[in-house]
Structure 1
Amino acid sequence: MKAKVYLKKIRKMDAMINADIEELAQLEALATKTGAVMGGERVQTSGSQQKMADCVVKIVEMKDKINTEIDSYINHKAEARRMLCECSADCIMLLQKRYFGVYDDAKKKTVYKTWEEIAADMNFTYKWVSGGLHQRALSQFQKAMDERIKDDETADVK
């Protein structure tokens, strides 16, 4: 796997978790509405109760899915961080801001910096950050990935 693909997976996993959290919020809102529909002079209410039960099951399943995704995300990110340690300081800073993201307290979420923002933060030009330094960082990360794979294969043979 190429370094850039591996690193982009972190952002993709984060986006999927956020999308599932939003879907969970919608399901929870729907469950509240489903429970509030009871009223009037209906005699048969099992349909409403069944909808509520179905909604609760979907909520539990979605929570389980999110927890599994979070575990996978944490493991993938931790592995990437171990490989990141093999890179130079400037490369670590660039990859951290671009692919790992930075938590923004005001927005209450992880934000990923643009090339312009990274260049300004690092006092480098946009061209250097988005071109030369990025390529150097990817190359160093790829080397660390290749070493990790080689180490894993060696361990499997023993």
Structure 2
Amino acid sequence: MNAKEYLRQIRKIDTMIANKTAEAEHWKAVAQNICTYSEAERVQSSGNKQKMADAVCRYVSIEQDIDNALSDLILTRKEVIASIEQLETSEYDVLHKVYVQYKDFTEIADIMGKSYSWVTTVHGRALANLQKIIKEREKAEHEYTESKEKEEPQTT
């Protein structure tokens, strides 16, 4: 995984949560708007209760998906922030502002009192340094996995 993809995980999960929240609100409204009471002449019908049950089930399912996505978001944010904290202060600050706070380069330049080109230069350097960190971590994980596989007894 390259550094930008790694950093963009936060926004992707955040966007998924926002979309699922909108979907959950839709199904909640559907469930609440299905009315079984009527003062008019009673007519035998079926389906209203089933539609409400279906809407409630979908709502509950989406709420569970949102809870899972929130857990993923918390873990991913924690991991990404820990990774960029290993960088030099200005590199960390720029990456945090772009990928955690969702600020654009112009806004960051204004906040930091620097030029746009300074921000883009630091951003590029930070991505390159983060890529090295990611590769080192992947290499260490690969070596760890290989050593564990060698330790396990072969059963055949």
TM-score (norm 1): 0.85
For residues 96-136 of structure 1, give each alpha carbon's deviation from its aligned partner in whole angstroms, at most 9, with x where no partner exists: 111012xxxxxxxxxx1111111111111011112x11101
Structure 1's unaligned 5+ residue stretches are 102-111
Instruction: Indicate if the aligned counterparts of 2:36 and 2:49 stay in contact, CA closer than 8 A.
Output: no
Larger radius of gyration: 2
Q: Percent identity of the aligned residues?
A: 35
User: In the aligned structure 1, how far is the partner of 2:114 from the partner of 2:36?
Assistant: 59
Structure 2 unaligned residues grouped into runs of 5+: 148-156
Partner of 2:17: 17
Q: Give the equivalent residue in structure 1 for 2:44.
A: 44
Structure 2 distance, partners of 1:50, 1:62, is 18
Q: Number of matched residues?
A: 146
Specify the code of the residue in structure 2 equivalent to 1:154: E
Deviation for aligned residue 1:144: 1.3
What's 1:116 paired with? Answer: 106
Return the alpha-carbon distance in structure 1 between the equivalents of residues 54 and 41 of structure 2: 23
TM-score, L = length of structure 2? 0.86
Q: Distance in 1 between matches of 2:75 and 2:133?
A: 17
Superposed CA RMSD in Å reads 1.5
Offset of residue 37 of structure 1: 4.9
Q: For residue 91 of structure 1, what is the aligned residue in structure 2? A: 91
Is 1:38–1:48's contact at 8 Å kept on the other side of the alignment?
Answer: no
Q: Which residue number corresponds to residue 149 of structure 1?
A: 138
- Letter of the 1:70 partner, please give it: L
Post-superposition offset of 1:45? 4.6
Deviates more, 1:58-67 or 1:73-82: 73-82
Q: Distance in 2 between matches of 1:9 and 1:16?
A: 11
